Amino acid sequence: MAAVPWQSAADFVVLAIAIYLTLRWSRQARAMRLALGILALRVAALVARQLNLLITSWVLDAATVVALLILVVAFQPELRRAVMRVDLFGRASAARQLPIWAAVTSAAASLAKARCGALIVIVRDDSIEELVTGGVALGSRVSPELLEAIFEKSSPLHDGAVVIEGDQLVRAKVFLPLTQRPAPGQYGTRHRAAFGLSERSDATIIVVSEERGQITLVREGRGELVTNPDLLLSALRAMAPAAADRARRPRRRPSAAELRIAAAALALSALIWSITFLLPGHSVRMQTVPIEFRDVPAGLTIASQSADSVQVWVRASDFIFDSFNLGALVVRSDLANAHAGLNVMHLDASTIDVPPGIKIEGWAPRELQVRLAPSPSVAPPRSK
C-alpha cells in the first residue's frame, strides 16, 4: 500500500475541525449528549456498511437524520446565535453594536432610578460557559423594556445576571462566581459576583445597586462608578478596540475543557477515518491497470515487453469505490538493476499504488518479461 496521500490527510484535518466545532458549540448550547449521539450513529452506520449490513445501515442513517432534525428544532435559538456570531472577515463594527449599548445604558439608568438591582454581563472574546451556572435560555433581542422587565422585583428572573452575546440576550437568572478578594464594605453580592467573573474572563459587567441606585462598570477585576448614562455609553463604545489593537492582544490560553474537546475530536476523527479507510470492504472489482516503467538504465531502451497492462482485483467498500477513480491506478516497475537483453520482473502488491481503504486481492500476470536494447543514439562498441 502506498503512503497516505495528502488528500486523505486533508480529509482527516477537515473532519477533526468539523467535529471540534460541533462539540464546542454543543457544549455551549448544552447539547453535548445529543451531538455525541449523532456522532455515535454515524460511526455505527459506517461499521454496518463495512459489515455489509444494508438494512442496519439504512436504519442508522434514518436515525441520524431524525436526530439532526431534533437538534435543529430543539436548539434553533442557539444555532441562530452561533450563525450570527460568525464574522469571517472581521466586519463586526461598533456601529452594529450601538443599539445594544444604547439599550443597556437606557435600562441601567432606569433601573438605577427605580432602585432595582441588576447584573448585566456583556460577553466579549472569552467564553464564560464553564464559569457560570444556572440560567434560563432566552435568545431575544436586547431592548431596554426587556431588561427592565427581567429585573423588576416581582419578576421570577430577578435574581442572578443576564448574559448578552453579540446582539442577543441569551440567558437570564445566571449565577456568577464570587471573587475571593476582599471587597469594599459598600459592595454586596452582586458586586462580588461581577468582580469574580471579570477576574476570570474579559467580560464586561454592569452592576446596578439596589440600595444606593448607583451604576458600577466592572472589567478586568476593577470597578468604576458611573455617575451618568453618557459616561456609561462612552465606556461601552470604547469596548470595541481597533483592528490593530485586537491583533496585538495576546492570545488566550486554551482552557482544560477546550483541550478535552480537542482531544475528543481527534479521537473521534481517527475512529471514523480508520473505519472508513482501513477496514476492508466486501466489494471486489477488477481493473485493467497500465504499467509504468521507471529508472531505465542509461543507454538502454525498452525493445519489447510481455504485457502492457496488469489485471488487478481490488477489495473495498462501495463508498470508497464511489469516491476514488480506479482508472488512476498504476503498476510501477523499477528497471534500475536491469541489463541489456531479457529481464524477468516479478510483480507484487508493493508495485501497485492504491489509496487507503483499497486492498489488493490479486493480479495477473505475476511477472513481466522486458527486453532492453541499446538506444539507437548509442553506437555499439567496436570489435578489436
Domain ranges of the chain: 6-86+257-277, 94-239, 283-374
Res 21: pLDDT:
85
Res 77: pLDDT:
64
- pLDDT beyond 70 at 185: no
Confidence class of residue 206 from pLDDT cuts 50, 70 and 90? very high
Q: Are strands 204-208 and 215-219 parallel, antiparallel or unpaired?
A: antiparallel
Confidence class of residue 251 from pLDDT cuts 50, 70 and 90? low
Res 29: pLDDT:
62
Res 82: pLDDT:
63
Angle at 242 between CA 253 and CA 255, to 5 degrees: 10
Q: What is the pLDDT of residues 62-102, one digit of tens each?
A: 999 998 888 888 777 666 656 655 554 444 444 455 678 88
Res 127: pLDDT:
74
Q: What gap in Å lies between CA 50 and CA 317, rounded to an integer? A: 6
Res 245: pLDDT:
46
Which residues have a Cβ under 8 Å from the Cβ of 207 and sit 6 or more positions away?
Answer: 118, 119, 190, 191, 194, 215, 216, 217, 218, 223
Using CA atoms, how far residue 374 sits from 24, 335, 337, in Å, is 66, 14, 15
Scanning the chain, the segments in alpha helix (DSSP H) are 6-28, 32-50, 54-74, 76-84, 94-113, 144-150, 189-200, 229-237, 243-248, 256-277, 318-323
Mean per-residue pLDDT over the chain, rounded: 81
Res 162: pLDDT:
92
Res 24: pLDDT:
80
What's the gap between Cα 143 and its chain centre? 33
Looking at mean pLDDT, say which of 72-76, 96-100, 233-237, 299-303 comes out highest. 299-303
367 bridge partner residues: 346
Higher pLDDT, 306 or 255: 306
Res 369: pLDDT:
92
Using CA atoms, how far residue 29 sits from 33, 65, 343, 346, 377, in Å, is 11, 20, 68, 60, 74
Fold of 283-374: RNA Polymerase Alpha Subunit; Chain A, domain 2 (2.170.120)
Contact 322, 340 (CB under 8 A): no
Which whole number is the average pLDDT over 176-198?
A: 82
Res 135: pLDDT:
84
- pLDDT beyond 60 at 216: yes
C-alpha cell at 84: 450570527
Confidence class of residue 189 from pLDDT cuts 50, 70 and 90? confident
Q: What gap in Å lies between CA 6 and CA 261, rounded to an integer? A: 25
- pLDDT beyond 50 at 228: yes
**Of 284, 358, 361, 318, which is closest to residue 53 (Cα–Cα)?**
318
Higher pLDDT, 173 or 243: 173
Fold of 94-239: YojJ-like (1 (3.40.1700)
Q: What gap in Å lies between CA 233 and CA 59, rounded to an integer? A: 56
Res 83: pLDDT:
63
Contact 232, 108 (CB under 8 A): yes
Q: What gap in Å lies between CA 169 and CA 147, rounded to an integer? A: 9
Res 88: pLDDT:
43
Contact 368, 347 (CB under 8 A): yes
Please give the model's pTM, rounded to 2 decimal places: 0.51
The DSSP line for 315-369 is: EE-HHHHHHS-GGG--EEEE-TT--SEEEEEE--GGGB---TT-EEEEEE-SEEE
Q: What is the pLDDT of residues 143-167, one digit of tens each?
A: 889 999 999 888 888 888 999 987 7
Res 341: pLDDT:
92
Residue 36 DSSP label: H
The answer to which of 10-14, 101-105, 242-246 has the lowest mean pLDDT is 242-246
Q: What gap in Å lies between CA 237 and CA 91, rounded to an integer? A: 16
